[in-house]
Amino acid sequence: MKLSELEHAPASATASLHNGHGDGAVVATNGHASSSRGAPAGSHLHNTPLFDSSTIDRHEFVRLMIQALRDTGYPESAASLEAESGYALEAPHVAAFRRAVLDGAWDDAVGTLEHIGLADAEDLRATRFLLSQQKYLELLEQQEVAPALLVLRGELAPYSIDQEKLHSLSSLMMCASAHDLRERAKWDGAAGTSRRRLLQHVQTYIPASVMLPPRRLPALLEQARAHQRRQCLYHTRNVTISLLEDHVCSRADFPVLTTHILAEHEDEVWHVQWSHDGRSLASASKDRNAIIWSIGPETGPAERECNVDKVLRDHDSPVTALAWSLDDSILLTSSEMVIKMWNAKTGVCIRELKKHDEPVSSLVYLPDGAGFVSGGMDRKIIIWDNDGSIRDAWPLAPIRVCDLTVSPDGNRLVAVGLLRSSESATGSNSSLPLGAAGSNGVGNTQPTPATSPKRKIVVYDLKTRQELNVIEVIGELTSVRVSRDSRYAIINHAPDEVHLWDLQSGRLARKFTGQRQGQHIIRSCFGGDEDSFVLSGSEDGNVYVWHRDTGVLLEVLAGHGEGSVNSVGWNPREPALFASCSDDHTIRIWEAPPPGIPDFDRERERERERIRALVAASEDIDGLTIGTGGKGKGRSA
């Protein structure tokens, strides 16, 4: 928890004085016994439900409100609420305890601790130790060595169960100055935040029913917001979620409509890649050209201009890989074994790089802009400088690289591909290829998975070139992308699956199914502001869109013609715009339908209706779900 979330701003320290001390009526009627002045006006509500069928406890709810009022600068309203409801935020001795800790009155603190009633002896011991530790450090800080020694011997030693901790504490006796002490103890002194930190630490041993965790109501509301954000299947708008209504993004705001068809290539389009500024789209085609398209900034699909900017010719073979430099001034293309470096503004080829001995499958710029990486079927992984000189040629990879990428944090390089030849030379049938035999017209050979070559995912430490993780899988791997937070990789996996890997744990987190993929290089991408979506091409000619955290298949978008949708790319700047490319020679731009299309307007209204109905039907469930949620950052993956 951040320091800023620590308990009680200075104003509330005085406010807590009210808590049992300020108003005699409140103390006397603190939920225990009625005073001579009669019960508070609201006490008849005690033990009644908050509302009909509400599962929220009235006492808890009112305490949250009292705390929230106090924390937000309304101590008088808080006191009024305490008086009217007859509930106190906390019992008088809790307030006294808090006061004592913040004032450094250690004997008082220990004294009131007795009344708080820690049931568990071990919790009591740990709490006593923490209090004495603070007391000891503060004495040392004041250069009161003799009393500190007494604390060490008389309190810390008996309450400690960790000899090492005790030794390190006693070694602090040798500190030359208060400054030295604070440095070595990593402690910011009596005048710093240390007493509040102590209070927060101690709080973990005290039941929340006795001593409320700090800023509890805002914490719950943040959880509610995070929950709604996660539940929003079509979340494309980067908006602050209001607490006043349930948040939802409508499907009508999702890019489900083809707004432009880019038809300039004369053969299959195999890959698309957006520039970092989102204004240019590069496409790679079997027609041996790459095209840079300018995609206008206009927001209305009708007004948006999409035009051919540059056609990059002179490739001897189909173009397979694309990469934009970080400033979008350079576009890299690969065709067979040759990498070409193009000036994206002029469309002039600046350099040809011929260091691969087999087709180059993948190109990606380093996140720090210091150069780029190429990977090939020759198992080479090469790090290049921006001027096209080799900076680092890695030892041959254990796989023929079908695709690779670098995590945005610059720590990992993830490569996918086929097992190295000699390693799988076992039986006479070990070399039978999977799938593509049919496409080459060779015949009907259908090797079983056991006889097909193994595939691997290799995760490298980019800086040390060490293999951090090698995962062997069965089935063709054709594409890999890493999420913006560098944690997840999506990998296309034939047949018919896209896999989400957690790179931290090295585990398969989720499988997305529905799309068709058997023989071809099909690629996927993340989409949405927080990579909430996974999109993939498919051999059935559709674009598939899933919700990443639930695996729900959101959309199967038809439109492309005969053949595969080979690759997809979500625009890095627009909230809801992506491109797909297909064997049908075209690229499609997908956007949210503009207002005024009757079908989608009706859909918007239906969506609102659906949400109203959901809300009406599930108030209790929402209350429970929000209240019992995790820290607000938990994810289902």
Binding site residues, another protein, CB under 8 A:
268, 270-271, 286, 318, 320, 358-359, 361, 377, 400, 402, 418-425, 427-433, 436-437, 439-443, 445, 453, 519-522, 539, 563-564, 566, 583
Q: C-beta of 519: minimal distance to another protein in Å?
A: 6
Nearer residue to another protein within complex by CB, 358 or 619: 358
What are residue 400's phi and psi, to 5 degrees? -75, 120
Q: Are 432 and 450 in contact (CB under 8 A)?
A: no
Distance, CA of 249 to CA of 234 (rounded, Å): 5
Nearer residue to another protein within complex by CB, 515 or 564: 564
569 SS3 class = strand
Nearer residue to another protein within complex by CB, 284 or 373: 284
Nearer residue to another protein within complex by CB, 77 or 430: 430
Q: C-beta of 522: minimal distance to another protein in Å?
A: 8
Nearer residue to another protein within complex by CB, 212 or 521: 521
Nearer residue to another protein within complex by CB, 271 or 315: 271
Nearer residue to another protein within complex by CB, 374 or 519: 519
Q: C-beta of 443: minimal distance to another protein in Å?
A: 6
Residue corresponding to tokens 């002490």: 181
Q: C-beta of 623: minimal distance to another protein in Å?
A: 51
Q: C-beta of 184: minimal distance to another protein in Å?
A: 59
* Nearest one of 245, 251, 290 to 267, comparing CA atoms: 290
Burial degree of 132 (CB within 10 A; 0-12, 13-18, 19+) = buried
Strand partners of residue 385: 371
Angle between helices 619-627 and 598-617 (to 10 degrees): 80
- 248 CB contacts (<8 Å, ≥6 apart)? 228, 232, 234, 607, 611
* Nearest one of 616, 542, 484, 552 to 251, comparing CA atoms: 552
Q: C-beta of 586: minimal distance to another protein in Å?
A: 15
Neighbours of 469 (CB within 10 A): 15
Q: C-beta of 410: minimal distance to another protein in Å?
A: 28
Nearer residue to another protein within complex by CB, 98 or 523: 523
* Nearest one of 584, 604, 582 to 593, comparing CA atoms: 604
Q: C-beta of 525: minimal distance to another protein in Å?
A: 16
Distance, CA of 580 to CA of 577 (rounded, Å): 10
What are residue 241's phi and psi, to 5 degrees? -80, 120
